[in-house]
């Protein structure tokens, strides 16, 4: 271990603030692509065991039954001046994993919902979830080749979005486009700050 040279300085340095942002959306909407495009490194992958809070009370014992599910998540990192580290987590897209988002969304700055206009309905569950939870989110319309170009207002209408929720076009493969989406999200989170339910982590009923 090379502690001689670094003189254990890492431990004495102040830790950066770690921030979590979720990248959600339906199956194949471009979540992993976006994480990779804006991150410092290729997307990393980790397996996380999450608790299914949607499981009801166990009839026999009367205690809450705890079910756990293992999900694989892609994530990436953006370091900002050694002061902040943004972690972008691609949430598992499959419908049966909705419940695990609750644990992931805890303490998150906000979320990007990627919408694929060829199957717009796929992002309904994500939109619903973040709305109910009060997590600030933006909708990023991913421009796939050959997809009909929708006006952003059409998308807003189709998703039944509140007028305050930003809807932006993006190309998940392009770093600059992903950056713009994230900037939009942070600006939106700043605007809605204080209007959020507190404390965080209490699941919306």
Ligand X SMILES: Nc1nc2c(ncn2[C@@H]2O[C@H](COP(=O)(O)OP(=O)(O)OP(=O)(O)O)[C@@H](O)[C@H]2O)c(=O)[nH]1
* Binding status of residue 182 toward ligand X by CB under 6 A: no
Binding site residues, other proteins, CB under 8 A: 1-4, 6, 8, 10-11, 13, 15-20, 44-49, 70, 75, 77-78, 80-81, 83-87, 89, 107-109, 179, 182-183, 186-187, 189-190, 193, 199-200
Q: Which does 144 bind (CB under 5 to 8 A by kind): other proteins, Mg ion, ligand X, none?
A: ligand X
Strands 67-80 and 137-142: unpaired
Estimate the share of the chain in helix, then strand, then coil, as percent rounded to the nearest 5: 35, 30, 40
Q: Which does 39 bind (CB under 5 to 8 A by kind): Mg ion, ligand X, other proteins, none?
A: none
Q: Which of residues 32-51 bind ligand X (CB under 6 A)?
A: 32-33
Cα–Cα distance for residue pair 38/31, rounded to 1 Å: 11
Q: In this structure, what token pair is assigned to residue 186?
A: 């942070």
Residue from 78, 143, 168, 186 touching ligand X (CB under 6 A): that is 143
Q: Tell me the CA distances in angstroms from 66 to 59, 97, 119, 205, one per residue in order.
A: 13, 15, 34, 19
Calculate Rg over the CA atoms of the chain: 19
- Residue ranges in contact with ligand X by CB under 6 A: 25, 27-33, 90, 93, 142-145, 171-173
């Amino acid at each position: 271990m090379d502690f001689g040279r670094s003189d254990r300085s890492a431990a004495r340095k102040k830790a950066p603030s770690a921030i979590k942002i979720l990248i959600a959306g339906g199956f194949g909407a471009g979540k992993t692509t976006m994480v990779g495009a804006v991150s410092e490194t290729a997307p990393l992958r980790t397996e996380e065991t999450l608790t299914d809070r949607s499981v009801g009370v166990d009839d026999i014992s009367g205690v809450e039954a705890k079910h756990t599910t293992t999900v694989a998540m892609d994530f990436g990192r953006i370091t900002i001046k050694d002061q902040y580290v943004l972690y972008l987590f691609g949430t598992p897209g499959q419908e049966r994993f909705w419940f695990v988002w609750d644990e992931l969304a805890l303490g998150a700055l906000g979320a990007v919902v990627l919408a694929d206009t060829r199957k717009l309905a796929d992002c309904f569950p994500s939109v619903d979830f973040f709305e109910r939870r009060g997590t600030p989110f933006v909708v990023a319309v991913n421009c796939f080749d050959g997809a009909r170009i929708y006006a952003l207002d059409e998308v807003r209408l189709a998703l039944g979005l509140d007028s305050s929720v930003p809807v932006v076009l993006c190309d998940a493969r392009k770093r600059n486009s992903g950056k713009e989406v994230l900037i939009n999200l942070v600006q939106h989170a700043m605007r809605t700050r204080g209007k959020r339910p507190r404390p965080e982590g209490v699941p919306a009923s």
